[in-house]
């Protein structure tokens, strides 16, 4: 009976010391370090779905994901595969006289690992080919429709951080001070 009590006590002590070690060694949310992303930092993203001028609409959301981790001073600020939302701002359907489709997407922000919004600049314009001169100015051109354009799954876009963004810890408490400055 004493052996079971001693074994139970040692097991409890072992588990408790492991939790204390993990809490001190691991980075907990209240021990995040300060970081900065500078204006112009390039963030490559890729489309995770296809969108076509044939069936998309203005205001529709299209999703992309980060291709790699975004780091600052060795710390991962935005992990790879984070979803990034783009909004369709212009759709042009195909038309007569070989008028091809068009899709314009705009990006505005990415969420960092700590939940902070990182403002980004990014736009993707996909346009079809220009009409043939003879088709465009002939009477039979009305019968020749253009082609739809598609933003294919896997399409890569390089986004840029729009403003300097930083995050820092205050020493007095565990609330995080967040600051974004326009340049």
Neighbours of 43 (CB within 10 A): 22
Query: Number of H helices and number of E strands within the chain?
Result: 2, 13
Measured CA to CA, the distance from residue 84 to residue 105 in angstroms comes to 12
Which has the closest alpha carbon to 62: 87, 89, 33, 99? 87
- % of the chain with per-residue pLDDT over 90: 41
pLDDT of amino acid 174: 39
Query: Which whole-number Å values give the CA distances from 164 to 80, 122, 157, 179, in the listed order?
Result: 21, 16, 20, 9
Which has the closest alpha carbon to 164: 98, 116, 130, 131? 116
- % of the chain with per-residue pLDDT over 70: 61
Assess if residue 44 is contained within a domain: yes
| More reliable by pLDDT, 15 or 4 | 4
Assess if residue 113 is contained within a domain: yes
Q: Report whether pLDDT(100) > 90.
A: no
| More reliable by pLDDT, 66 or 178 | 66
Assess if residue 76 is contained within a domain: yes
Measured CA to CA, the distance from residue 182 to residue 126 in angstroms comes to 30
Assess if residue 14 is contained within a domain: no
Domain with residue 51: its CATH number is 2.40.128.260
pLDDT of amino acid 171: 41
Assess if residue 54 is contained within a domain: yes
Split into its structural domains, the chain has a count of 1
Q: Report whether pLDDT(164) > 50.
A: yes
Measured CA to CA, the distance from residue 80 to residue 135 in angstroms comes to 47
The structure's pTM equals 0.65
Q: In which domain, by residue range, is 55 found? A: 39-162
Assess if residue 52 is contained within a domain: yes
Assess if residue 66 is contained within a domain: yes
Assess if residue 139 is contained within a domain: yes
pLDDT digits over 45-70, tens only? 999 999 998 889 999 999 999 999 99
pLDDT of amino acid 44: 95
pLDDT digits over 62-97, tens only? 999 999 999 988 889 999 999 999 999 998 877 655
pLDDT of amino acid 140: 56
User: pLDDT tier at 108 (50, 70, 90 boundaries)?
Assistant: very high
């Amino acid at each position: 009976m004493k052996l079971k009590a001693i074994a139970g006590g040692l097991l409890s002590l072992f588990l408790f010391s492991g939790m204390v070690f993990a809490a001190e060694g691991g980075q907990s949310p209240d021990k995040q370090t300060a970081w900065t992303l500078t204006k112009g930092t390039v963030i490559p993203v890729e489309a995770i779905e296809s969108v076509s001028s044939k069936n998309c609409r203005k205001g529709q959301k299209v999703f992309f994901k980060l291709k790699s981790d975004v780091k600052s001073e060795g710390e991962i600020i935005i992990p790879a595969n984070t979803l990034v939302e783009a909004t369709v701002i212009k759709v042009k359907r195909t038309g007569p006289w070989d008028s091809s489709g068009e899709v314009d997407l705009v990006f505005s922000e990415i969420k960092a690992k700590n939940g902070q919004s990182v403002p980004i600049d990014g736009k993707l314009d996909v346009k079809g080919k220009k009409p043939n001169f003879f088709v465009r100015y002939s009477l039979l051109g009305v019968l020749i429709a253009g082609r739809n354009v598609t933003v294919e799954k896997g399409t890569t876009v390089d986004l840029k951080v729009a403003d300097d963004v930083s995050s820092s810890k205050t020493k007095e408490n565990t609330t995080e001070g967040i600051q974004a400055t326009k340049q």
